[in-house]
Structure 1
Amino acid sequence: MDNLMAYIAVVIVLAMMPGADSMIIMKNTLNINSNAGRVTILGIVLGHLFWTFIAVIGLAVVIANSIILFSTIKYIGAAYLIYIGIRSFTAGQLVSVDDLKEKQQQAKGQLGEAFRQGLISNILNPKVLLLYITIMPQFMTVGGSIGENQQLVILAGLLIGISSLWFLLVVELVNIMKKWLKSRMFQNWLAKGAGVVLILFGIRTALDA
């Protein structure tokens, strides 16, 4: 892993690029609260751990090389993004800062859904799979003092750590913006906008070759 700093730079750029994960985090932070955004990140992290395990045991290459398996993941993932995008767009009035305490019980029930959205969308994201079999191997040293699987785990850990830090920052920024812009109508339209973007991400995922 001679190019570790280059890999870290690539991961930082990838983490900061707008994608389905960041939009789901923003949507849940807007629709529910900052805890929902953080729980969504936890789901995303577990999704990455799933793909790390799959890559370590060698199944990631098998899935990527199977047209049926890869296409199945791609289309189910695209459909799921469109589904949660529609859910966000058609959601009712958002929980405002003023009445958040009165809605705590409802929010607790939504935390589980936020976690599942982060987990499922990551597991069903074909771009995450490709990341493990195309980008990571470029920064691994074959025949080095550290085994390839160990290198993969280290690179995946860096990806998860850097991405999580960025996503936590996104949650805080969205939460600050939500407190500043207390208008329920404005927050509602922001959530609808996030829903539209998720739908577009789903469509793009389905159409990607």
Structure 2
Amino acid sequence: MDNLLAYSTVVLVLAMLPGADMMIIMKNTLNYNSNAGRVTILGIILGHLFWTFIAVIGLAVVIANSILLFSTIKYIGAAYLVYIGIKSFTAGQLVSMNKLKDGGGRVKGHMKASFRQGLISNIFNPKVLLLYITIMPQFMTVGGSIGENQQLIILAGILIGISTVWFLVVVELVNIMKRWLKSRTFQNWLSKGAGVVLILFGIRTALEA
């Protein structure tokens, strides 16, 4: 594990690239409040911990090599992203005036929904699985003083840490954007735009080999 700096750089670039996780975080932060965005991140973290556990016990490679299992995960994840995208597209108004006045704190069940979206989108994201079996092994040392499973846990911890910090920055930036949400027309287009992006992410996930 002599290339932790290079690995951290790769992870930071991957985290900053626009993806389904970032779009869901942005959507929930705008639709509710910054706490909903943070709870979404918590769901994403739990999803990564799930895949870390799967990788440590050796099931990640089994899943990746099974056409049936990998395809099932891929299509469930794709369908869920399309579902969330359609809901956002048809919402019309992404953030109501009442939510902007009270910070969205009175929206019943939004915390659970935000957490669930972050968790499910991450667990059923085949790219996360491939990250654990393609990129991480390149930065592991076979036969070193640190066992492979321990190395995997360390690399996963770095991934989770860097991603969490970046996503928290995104939440704060998006929360600042709410000052521009007084226009109902802008909200309508923003809602539809977020929905279209999530739908496209879902379609791309389904079509990727």
- Fold-level similarity (TM above 0.5): yes
Please say if residues 88 and 195 of structure 2, whose CA atoms lie closer than 8 Å, have aligned partners that are also in contact: yes
The SS at the match of 1:104 is coil
Distance 1:198 1:49 in 2: 24
How far 1:31 moved relative to its partner? 1.3
Structure 2 unaligned runs (5+)?
none
TM-superposed deviation, 1:159: 0.4
Query: Runs of 4 or more off by more than 3 Å in structure 1?
Result: 96-100
Q: 1:154 to 1:101 in 2, by over 3 A?
A: same
> 2:99–2:105: 8 Å Cα contact kept in structure 1?
no
1:187 Cα deviation from its structure 2 partner: 2.6
Q: Give per-residue Cα distances to partners, 1:112-162, cap 9 Å, x unaligned.
A: 101000000000000000000000000000011111001000000000010
Determine if contact 1:41/1:118 at 8 Å carries over to the other structure: yes
Q: Taking structure 1 as reference, are residues 203 and 36 closer, same or farther at Cα in structure 2, changes over 3 Å only?
A: same
Asked if 1 retains the 8 angstrom alpha-carbon contact of 2:74 and 2:125, the reply is yes
The answer for the alignment partner of 1:117 in structure 2 is 117
For 1:59 and 1:119, how far apart are their aligned partners in 2? 19
Counterpart in the other structure of 1:196: 196
Structure 1 residue 61 displacement after superposition: 0.3
Corresponding residue SS for 2:143: coil
Whether 2:170 is the aligned partner of 1:170: answer: yes
**C-alpha contact (below 8 Å) 2:41/2:115 kept by paired residues:** yes
Q: Secondary structure at the match of 1:100?
A: helix
Name the CA distance, whole Å, in 2 between partners of 1:192 and 1:148.
Answer: 45
Q: Match of 1:105, SS?
A: coil
Alignment of 1:49-198 (within 5 A): 49-93=49-93, 94-96=95-97, 99-101=100-102, 104-106=105-107, 108-198=108-198
Q: Name the aligned partner's letter for residue 97 of structure 2.
A: S
TM superposition shift of 1:33: 1.4
Superposed CA offset, 1:65-92 (max 9, x none)? 0000000000010000000001111114
2:92·2:187 contact (CA, 8 Å) conserved in 1? no
What is the distance in 1 between the residues matched to 2:76 and 2:173? 31
Consecutive unaligned residues in structure 1, runs of 5 or more: none
The AA in structure 1 aligned to 2:21 is: D
C-alpha deviation, 1:95, in angstroms: 2.8
| Identical residues among aligned pairs (%) | 81
Q: TM-score, normalising length from structure 2?
A: 0.95
The answer to which of 6-15 and 24-33 deviates more is 24-33
Report the alpha carbon displacement of residue 29 of structure 1 after superposing the two structures with TM: 1.0
Report how many residues are paired. Answer: 208
Confirm or deny: 8 A CA contact 2:33 2:105 kept in the other structure.
Answer: no
Return the TM-score normalized by structure 1. 0.95
The answer (yes or no) to whether the contact 1:32–1:95 under 8 Å persists in 2 is: no
CA distance in 1, matches of 2:193, 2:46: 27
